[in-house]
Chain A
Amino acid sequence: MNETVLTRRAALMATSGLLLAGCDKLSESPTVQTVLASAEELNLGGQRLVLTSSQPLAREYPASEISRDFKANGTVQPDSDEYRRLMLTEFTDWRLKLDGLVRKPSEWSLDELKAMPSRAQITRHDCVEGWSAIGEWTGVPLSHLLQQAELLPNARYIVFRCADDLIGSHDGSGLYYESIDLIDAHHPQTIMAYAMNGKPLPVPHGAPLRLRVERQLGYKMAKYVMRIQAVDDFSKIGLGRGGFWEDRGYEWYAGI
């Protein structure tokens, strides 16, 4: 008797299956996604309300709180020949470019960056996946670099171009990039870090230079930064959403 095989569990599964098929359809619908994504505006607006006026700092921790094992996520070593060459020569040939909407496009070596005013901070790194780790980051404040290059008044976003290609594309379309606005770019804890826990930045954490934007999630903090670009609009970069993960559905504003 086949009918009796339809147990309550199977019936429940079938019902929830139908419901969920509907949910998946909804989840894949661009209209639904647009409506759902409107919450990002509320997240940004709400957080800007409490974050902008006083530019509060992210909490800094004592050295005793530093994580013994700080997980390296995403790319742990960029795959290009060029990066391997830079790595083997300990980044002596590496130059950070800063161009775009600036009066003085600039290039700095790692030693030149290290000779600039620096900031060290022990902060909590929050991954979008849900884990947290605490580490010490030393680097040059991004605001200092922007000052050196003299940002033009029409610049609105700072874009970070990276050496890692998470999807192994051969045309560069998978190269990691990120963008932040000037409120976060000028925040005192927004630094280009060249050291982690007192040692040169390890390759899995983004050697030679990574971004720290302490009030946002980990995916904003681009690793292996090669070039910084000041732009008035990022819609022509990548798929136009302001970052590698943003192009793959994640929020541009990652304060939550």
Chain B
Amino acid sequence: MTVETAGAKLTIARRTRTGRELIYRHGLLVRIAHWVNAGCFAVLLMSGLQIFNAYPMLDWGAKGDEGDPALLSIYAEDQLEGPPIGWVQIGSAKFDTTGYLGVFRDRDGFLSGRAFPWYLTLPSYQALAEGRRWHFFFAWLLAINGLVYFGYGFAARHFQRDLKPTGGDLRGIGRSILDHLRLRHPRGDAAKRYNVLQKFAYLGIVFVLFPLMVISGITMSPGMDSALPWLPEIFGGRPSARTIHFITATLLVLFVFVHVLEVLLAGFFNEMRSIITGWFAVRPEKTRRPS
């Protein structure tokens, strides 16, 4: 039995008990980077919502004037009689989100007026200083992890070999979209590599959303803005950078939802084994369509 590294040509190395072909799909560094990244993302998201709660609105431009309406605002409105109402205001539209956002039952059962509820923030109670500590520590960890992954990705040709769409990929994009909509997952040789939509999703995450997250985050630092004055210019100001940071985080959350859904649909145990141990079982080709 030969165990090939991720850099080598895929060879049949093992079989499962049911006779399925096992391939070594994810190299050790990719697996470690994936899980470090996943952990960092969870902490950064929840501590980020904690930080957002300290000023639960999003502004645009160089400054956020108190008089100017915010792009987004989550707030509690006290009532003369009865409990307060939680509102999410986006532009000129306003949605009653009582119970979930703005006003919710806190961990102790009492009504609280904060933007994001206790079960989405770290820590669960209002504590900006603690939230910032979690955020900065894991931001450094995420950045270092990301740099190692980038270095490896180029040096070991992981990006060029596994993520770069081929001509055939691009021609088959329509088919791939239909397959995804029908929740059909590739079998046989096609299952040994990423499909074209998967490649685009990963490329977008790795080269667009995560870098954007880091750069918009750094732009919120007055120190970094002095050292690199072009940073806020990219976004049109610090409040804009904060808004982009929030929107990008939302897109990353959407990615995680789709990503986890695809893992469930494609076979939870096989996918989890491959991202933990590296070994992925290829489902054989089928000529008959499952009814």
A-side interface residues toward B, CB under 8 Å?
13, 16-17, 20-21, 23-24, 27-28, 33, 35-40, 42-43, 47, 50-51, 56-59, 61, 65, 67-69, 71, 124, 126-134, 214-217, 245, 248-251, 255-256
Q: Which of B92-148 contact A (CB under 8 A)?
A: 107, 118-119, 122-125, 127-130, 132-134, 136-137, 139-140
Q: Which residue of A lies closest to B43 (CB)?
A: A23
C-alpha spacing A186/B225, complex, angstroms: 19
Task: Determine if A255 and B223 form an interchain contact, defined as CB atoms under 8 angstroms apart.
Answer: yes
C-alpha spacing A248/B133, complex, angstroms: 13
Contacts of B128 in A (CB 8 A): 128-129, 250
**Is residue B67 contacting chain A, with contact meaning CB distance below 8 A?**
yes
A223 to chain B, nearest CB (A): 18
6 contacts between A and B (CB under 8 A): A20-B119, A24-B123, A42-B136, A69-B65, A126-B222, A130-B220
Contact with A along B250-271 (1 / 0, CB 8 A): 0000000000000000000000
Q: CB < 8 Å: which of A65, A71, A255 contacts B62?
A: A65
C-alpha spacing A117/B134, complex, angstroms: 43
**Is residue B76 contacting chain A, with contact meaning CB distance below 8 A?**
no
**Is residue B166 contacting chain A, with contact meaning CB distance below 8 A?**
no
Contacts of A124 in B (CB 8 A): 62-63, 222, 225, 238
In this complex, the member of B46, B127, B136 whose beta carbon has the largest number of chain A beta carbons within 10 angstroms is B136
Q: CB < 8 Å: which of A39, A67, A256 contacts B221?
A: A256
Please tell me the size bucket of the interface on B.
Answer: 35 or more
**Is residue B80 contacting chain A, with contact meaning CB distance below 8 A?**
no
Contacts of B54 in A (CB 8 A): 128-130
C-alpha spacing A27/B126, complex, angstroms: 12
Task: Determine if A249 and B130 form an interchain contact, defined as CB atoms under 8 angstroms apart.
Answer: yes
**Is residue B26 contacting chain A, with contact meaning CB distance below 8 A?**
no
Task: Determine if A131 and B137 form an interchain contact, defined as CB atoms under 8 angstroms apart.
Answer: no
**Is residue B190 contacting chain A, with contact meaning CB distance below 8 A?**
no
**Is residue B55 contacting chain A, with contact meaning CB distance below 8 A?**
yes
Task: Determine if A256 and B220 form an interchain contact, defined as CB atoms under 8 angstroms apart.
Answer: yes
Contacts of B220 in A (CB 8 A): 126, 130, 256
**Is residue B84 contacting chain A, with contact meaning CB distance below 8 A?**
no
Task: Determine if A67 and B63 form an interchain contact, defined as CB atoms under 8 angstroms apart.
Answer: yes
Task: Determine if B140 and A27 form an interchain contact, defined as CB atoms under 8 angstroms apart.
Answer: no
Q: Which residue of A lies closest to B233 (CB)?
A: A59
Given the interface contacts A132-B62, A249-B130, does A216 sit within 8 Å of B67 by beta carbon? no
C-alpha spacing A6/B64, complex, angstroms: 44
Contacts of A134 in B (CB 8 A): 62-63
Task: Determine if B226 and A67 form an interchain contact, defined as CB atoms under 8 angstroms apart.
Answer: no
Q: Which of B187-241 contact A (CB under 8 A)?
A: 218, 220-229, 232, 237-239
**Is residue B25 contacting chain A, with contact meaning CB distance below 8 A?**
no
Task: Determine if B64 and A36 form an interchain contact, defined as CB atoms under 8 angstroms apart.
Answer: no
Contacts of A40 in B (CB 8 A): 133, 136
Task: Determine if A23 and B122 form an interchain contact, defined as CB atoms under 8 angstroms apart.
Answer: yes
B-side interface residues toward A, CB under 8 Å?
46, 51-52, 54-55, 59, 62-67, 107, 118-119, 122-125, 127-130, 132-134, 136-137, 139-140, 218, 220-229, 232, 237-239, 242
Task: Determine if A56 and B227 form an interchain contact, defined as CB atoms under 8 angstroms apart.
Answer: yes
C-alpha spacing A214/B242, complex, angstroms: 19
Task: Determine if B124 and A126 form an interchain contact, defined as CB atoms under 8 angstroms apart.
Answer: no
C-alpha spacing A65/B140, complex, angstroms: 33
Contacts of A65 in B (CB 8 A): 62-63
A34 to chain B, nearest CB (A): 10
Task: Determine if A130 and B51 form an interchain contact, defined as CB atoms under 8 angstroms apart.
Answer: yes
Contacts of A59 in B (CB 8 A): 225-226, 229, 232
Q: Which residue of B lies closest to A20 (CB)?
A: B124
C-alpha spacing A40/B133, complex, angstroms: 8
B260 to chain A, nearest CB (A): 14
A110 to chain B, nearest CB (A): 28
Q: CB < 8 Å: which of B65, B133, B222 contacts A216?
A: B222
Task: Determine if B227 and A47 form an interchain contact, defined as CB atoms under 8 angstroms apart.
Answer: yes
Q: Which residue of B lies closest to A249 (CB)?
A: B129
User: Knowing that A17-B119, A36-B137, A131-B239 are A-B contacts, what are 11 other residue pairs whose CB atoms are under 8 Å apart, sorted by A's residue number?
Assistant: A33-B130, A40-B133, A47-B223, A68-B65, A124-B225, A128-B132, A132-B62, A133-B63, A215-B226, A248-B129, A256-B223
Q: CB < 8 Å: which of B65, B118, B136, B224 contacts A67?
A: B65
Contacts of B129 in A (CB 8 A): 245, 248-251
Task: Determine if A51 and B140 form an interchain contact, defined as CB atoms under 8 angstroms apart.
Answer: no
Q: Which residue of B lies closest to A50 (CB)?
A: B227
Q: Which residue of A lies closest to B124 (CB)?
A: A20
C-alpha spacing A40/B139, complex, angstroms: 11
Contacts of B228 in A (CB 8 A): 50
In this complex, the member of A37, A39, A255 whose beta carbon has the largest number of chain B beta carbons within 10 angstroms is A39
In this complex, the member of A51, A65, A67 whose beta carbon has the largest number of chain B beta carbons within 10 angstroms is A67
C-alpha spacing A37/B140, complex, angstroms: 12
